[in-house]
Amino acid sequence: MRVLLTGGAGYIGAHTATVLAGRGHEIVLVDNFANAERDVPARLARLTGQAMTLIEADIRDTETLTAALRAHEVEAVIHFAALKAVGESEVDPLLYYDMNIIGTIRLLQAMRAANVGRIVFSSSATVYGQPDSAPVREDAPTRAENIYGRTKLVMEDLIRDLARTGPLRAAANLRYFNPVGAHPSAQIGEMPRGVPNNLMPYITQVATGLRPHLNVFGTDYPTADGTGVRDYIHVMDLAEAHALALEYIGAHDETLTLNLGTGTGISVLELVRAFERATGRPIPLHFAPRRPGDVASNYADPSLAARVLGWKARLNIEDMCRDAWRWQAAQAGINDI
């Protein structure tokens, strides 16, 4: 298919582009580089052998988006572009409403103008807030516990509404759990700016010596070892699920809402031990109080995605740690594994 990726130079978008190119899809990347490095499109071209069209634009620029959709005869959009920092969203809600909600409305207007009726959307496990129990199914109650989460819920609703009323014909709301890892080539990966909020990039920066230790936020959760439990999923598995979702909605006029996770809960300490095993690098720990807003345990029931798409995560926690480290080590100029 001819597919336009908003936020296509970002972490998950770029990995998805490699998988889409490998499956023969034609890709147009749209990004304003608010949170991406400018050399990502060139890296993607080298990796895939496909010179992808890059349009440097903001998704709120409906005119440019409409022209791009028309000029490239785009058949579907994968909508990654958004701001994603929970803490920042609580400091500047209007920024998040504008980028995420208004941005999505502008994109949907462009899709209507260009008669593009298919969309895959980056939603998040954050829509479950503090889940009543885990594993979490897609029909579990949703709740916004921060502004970022609220924007994801609104964006899902906008897409579902327009799939019901038109002009959308088919949509897939993909609820990612905790994406980690990097492309096995170590040519693309996650590049957080400043101090990482998320666990895996923090661990890899401790491993390079950039940070002295990992703060383990909370040791008194009602979990097996007292630390928070999450469903970490390799970004390449996630990327494959996007390709399958795209191909599914290309063939069926349906609206899907799917969890993307492995179905296995991993604690902070289990992740640290897996990282040490996979890389041979020690991670010094400091035990710290709980981080406000964190849930004890959240992991997916991914069986709906298995049934509908025939998708299942294939890579395990060691693969995730190894690839996250290979990427971070390459960035830091460490010739390690």
Alpha-helical runs (H) found in 224-316: 235-251, 268-279, 303-309
Q: 3-state DSSP call for residue 130?
A: coil
Measured from each CB, the residue nearest to ligand NAD is 10
54 binds ligand NAD (CB under 6 A): no
Catalytic residue, chosen from 11, 96, 128, 148, is 148
Binder of ligand NAD out of 9, 17, 19, 244 (CB under 6 A) = 9
80 binds ligand NAD (CB under 6 A): yes
Shortest CB 260 distance to ligand NAD, Å: 9
CA 283/CA 213 separation, integer angstroms: 7
216 binds, among ligand WQD, ligand NAD, none (CB under 5 to 8 A by kind): ligand WQD
Alpha-helical runs (H) found in 31-166: 40-48, 62-71, 86-91, 93-96, 103-114, 147-165
Site string for ligand WQD, 10-29 (x = CB under 6 A): --------------------
Instruction: Find tokens 């035990």 and name the residue.
Output: 287
Site string for ligand NAD, 98-137 (x = CB under 6 A): -x---x------------------x-x-------------
Binder of ligand NAD out of 23, 33, 87, 130 (CB under 6 A) = 33
Shortest CB 28 distance to ligand WQD, Å: 24
CA 235/CA 239 separation, integer angstroms: 6
Name the residue nearer to ligand NAD (CB basis): 198 or 219: 198
Name the residue nearer to ligand NAD (CB basis): 179 or 263: 179
Name the residue nearer to ligand WQD (CB basis): 174 or 268: 268
Site string for ligand NAD, 169-198 (x = CB under 6 A): -------x--x-------------------
The answer to whether residue 299 is catalytic is: no
The region of 29-37, 88-96, 311-319, 323-331 touching ligand NAD under the rule CB under 6 A is: 29-37
The distance of Cα 191 from the centroid of its chain, to the nearest Å, equals 13
| φ and ψ of 336, to 5 deg | -120, -75
CA 174/CA 190 separation, integer angstroms: 19
31 binds ligand NAD (CB under 6 A): yes
Cis peptide before 196 (omega within 30 of 0): no
CA 113/CA 203 separation, integer angstroms: 45
Name the residue nearer to ligand WQD (CB basis): 33 or 287: 287
| φ and ψ of 135, to 5 deg | -65, 150
Tokens of 153: 């819920």
| φ and ψ of 19, to 5 deg | -70, -40
Cα atoms found within 13 Å of the Cα of residue 15, Cβ hemisphere only: 26
CA 263/CA 231 separation, integer angstroms: 7
Tell which positions 251-310 bind ligand WQD, by CB under 6 A. 268, 291, 294
294 binds, among ligand NAD, ligand WQD, none (CB under 5 to 8 A by kind): ligand WQD
Please tell me what DSSP assigns to residue 300: B
Binder of ligand NAD out of 4, 27, 28, 35 (CB under 6 A) = 35
Q: 3-state DSSP call for residue 307?
A: helix
CA 198/CA 202 separation, integer angstroms: 6
Amino acid at 253: D
197 binds ligand WQD (CB under 6 A): yes
Binder of ligand NAD out of 17, 19, 21, 36 (CB under 6 A) = 36
Sites of contact with ligand NAD (CB under 6 A):
6-7, 9-13, 31-36, 58-60, 80-82, 84, 99, 103, 122, 124, 176, 179
Which residues are part of the catalytic machinery?
A: 148
